[in-house]
Structures are given as C-alpha cells and as structure tokens.
Amino acid sequence: MKKLLTTSLILALLIWNSVLTYEVFFNRPADTTVNPDGTVVQTVVTEFDTDVTRVVENSIEKVVGIQAIQFDEVFSTGSGAIFDSKDGLVHIVTNNHVVEDASKIRVVFANGEEVEAKLMGSDVFTDLALLEVEVTFEVNAFKFGDSSLVKVGENALAIGSPLGLDFQGSVTMGIISGKDRVVPVDLDNNGVDDWDSIVLQTDAAINPGNSGGPLINLAGELIGITSMKIADSSVEGMGFAIPINEVMPIIQQIKENGKVIRPVVGISAVSLDELAVYQKSYYGIRLDLNAGLYVMSVMDGSPAQLAGIKEGDVITTFDNVNITSFKEFRKLLYSKKVGDVVSVSYERNGKSTTVDVKLQ
C-alpha cells in the first residue's frame, strides 16, 4: 500500500512538471523570456493613454483637408476646422489664401470622404473664409474656447495637412508663446503694409498645408485658426493663429451676408509718409507735415463729400486719433459700424477743420 502511494505521488509530480514545462516553453506570452536557470522574465506593456491622446482622438475627425482647384488642377492645399454641423449641412472655417481664386473647392474628411464645397464668402483682411458642404454621414463640430482667457505657456495642438493631403491629420504640439501679437501684412505685395493682424503666437510646428486648420487647447476647444509662420532660416518655432474671438464675428457675418460688411468714408488717399518732398511740393502740402492722409479723390454722395471733405485735403485725425498711415486709418475705420458718427479733422490751405462724418 505504501509503495502504491509513493508511486502515485511520483507520477503526479511528473505530470505537473510536464504541464509547467509546456506552459513555459510552448504557451508563454510573446513578450516573455526564459533564462538558462529556468526563471521567466515577462515584459508588461501598458497601453499609452494620456489627456493629449484623448484630445486628439476626439478632435481629429473635426479637421478636414482642403484642395483648391483651377483648370482641373489642384493649385493650393490647406486645412479647415468644422465650425458647425446640422442636418447634413456642414460649415468649415479656413484661410482666404487657401481658397482664393479657386474655381472648385474639394473638402476631404478624416474618414476619407471627398465632397465639393461651396464658398459662402471670404475676407482678405482677416484671411478667413467659410465653406459649406452637404454630407450623408455624421459630422461633429468643434466647441469654441475663449481666446481672451488663453495663457502664455499653456499647451496647444495644431492639426492639419502639412505639405498636402498625404499627411492629413498630422498633429503637432507646443505652447502658446505670446498673445495679442501684431503682425503687419502686405495684402497686395506692393511693399507697403496694408493691415495689422492680431494673432496668437505658438511654437507648435506650422507648415505649408496647415493653413486654415485648428489650434486647440487641451480641453479640445478651438482657440484659433492657424494662418501663418515666419519662414526664415534663422527663425524656428514662430507660428501664428487668428484668435477664435476674432474669427467668430467675421464668420458670423459671412454666414449671414456672404461677406463682411464694413463702413466706408468714400475717399481714395495716400499716406504722407509715402510721398517724397517733391510730391508734397507738387500737391501743395506743408513740408513739415509728415503724418496724415492726402485725399486723392472723393466719391460722389459719400460720407466724406457730405461732410465737406474735398480732394487735396489732408486728414490728420480720425475719431480723435492722430493718423500716421493709411493702414492705421483703415484699422480705425473698420473698427466702427455702419451708421456710426466719427469726428474727422483735416487741413486745407494751412487751416485745420473738424467735421462729423456719418459712416455708410
């Protein structure tokens, strides 16, 4: 009896050893190794998941690639942020320079669907455009942040299609490097600045093709539309985005009116600082007068004409602000609304006059 028990115990131990051997050598996970002494080393791999990856996962479908087409050829590519979506009608914000002069615009969604878009309107000064597409699939829009609350040093993500749609959905990360940066823009490439863009600065990589795409915070909120970067071999990490608080009123106007409605004075003018001495003498302008606008012409029935302003006058102040350039004048004018009354001072034959002008 004792011999039978001993034999059974030995047999059980042999069977258990066989099971362990099989588990170690034939049924072990791929990420385990067995040392010569028989010890098993297992590498545990944890799925990488952070706030950033979740933000990207929830946001990337809200970004589109854009192709601007002319004569059946793609001549410009960029990105866009989904502004709103309801009942299959989707509105997308992008940059004006991405779609300018396009005869056809194609939007490529993150799921690969391609849809021809309608340009609802654009604005050259703020470099914004609004597209409209109809879709048969579900599309989600961005939630909007408040760019006035953005803090320098907080993280920001840029999503877009750098260098074309082959890299659609590329994500770069950086920080907000600065707020309320003023970047002069020459809109007609004549060497004279026409506009001052107020932008957010970021060191998140912004490359050609990112234009029009979103800059978002780590809450997944849209805080800006990427628009430009300083492209210089001596400069690194200086990209810019139009703050969403600047974007919203422009896009709302385009959505409602198909354009941005801005007030007019009704003059054609040139900055005195652009005139040479001999030109001032020719126009009869005081040589010691270096700031202001020389009025080249006045439109019939315009606010300027109704207020008594004439060709040859020099406008020196607008809304009680001294005018130093046409760019500054335009910025002040476009900050007003149609119907506003502003005070304008001008000089004629050495005499200064101030009048009220009702903007149209």
Annotated active-site residue 313? The verdict is no
Question: Which residues lie below 8 Å from residue 32, measured CB to CB, with a gap of 6+?
Answer: 40, 41, 42, 43
- The owner of tokens 């606010």 is 303
Kindly give, in sequence order, each residue whose CB lies less than 8 Å from that of residue 61, ignoring residues fewer than 6 positions away: 109, 110, 111, 139, 140
Q: Where does the chain have alpha helices with state H?
A: 2-25, 51-59, 96-99, 244-257, 277-283, 303-306, 326-334
Check 122, 127, 161, 177 and give the catalytic one: 127
Strand 143-144 relative to strand 221-229: parallel, antiparallel, unpaired? parallel
Say how far apart CA 198 and CA 220 lie, in whole Å: 22
Active-site residue 97, yes or no?
Answer: yes
Instruction: Show the tokens assigned to 168.
Output: 């659609």
Q: What angle do CA 122, 126, 131 make, to 5 degrees?
A: 30
Nearest to 212 by CA among 139, 128, 142, 147: 128
Residue with tokens 């149209």: 360
Single out the catalytic residue among 59, 76, 91, 97: 97
91 is catalytic: no
Residue 90's DSSP bridge partners are 85, 133
Which residues are CB-neighbours of 147 under 8 A, at least 6 positions away?
Answer: 200, 223, 224, 243, 244, 245, 246
Q: Which one of 85, 161, 211, 271 is the catalytic residue?
A: 211
Report the catalytic residues: 97, 127, 211
